[in-house]
Amino acid sequence: MMRRIVTATLATAFLAVAVVPPVSAQEGKPASARQDEPKQITAQQQKMKDCAAKWKDEKAKTNVKGREAYSKFMSGCLKTDAAG
């Protein structure tokens, strides 16, 4: 009998938690509403995107391959973008 009471209580608690939609701490919007908003990208992420596009062009021109060549190119690209 006690096992049924405990099981019913836990099931009720689980359902109560599962039914309530998560709310963001910032604006009180449900999580589904936050997913529709565009995500802001940082300056470092933008540099990485720009250098990755330049890498594709460089790779096509010079026919280089490998992680070492990629790392060397990205390092130089990110340093020149940071200075300029």
User: Can you give the pLDDT at residue 13?
Assistant: 72
Tell me the per-residue pLDDT of 23-37, one tens digit each, with 9 for 90 and over: 555 556 666 656 666
The answer, yes or no, to whether residue 83 has pLDDT greater than 70, is: no
Q: If residue 37 lies in a helix (H) or strand (E), which one and from where to where?
A: none
**Helix (H), strand (E), coil (C) string for the chain:** CHHHHHHHHHHHHHHHHHHCCCECCCCCCEHHHHHHCCCCCCHHHHHHHHHHHHHHHHHHHHCCCCHHHHHHHHHHHHHHHHHC
Specify the 3-state DSSP secondary structure of 30: strand
The 8-class DSSP code of residue 40 comes to P
Please state, rounded to an integer, the average pLDDT across all residues of the chain: 79
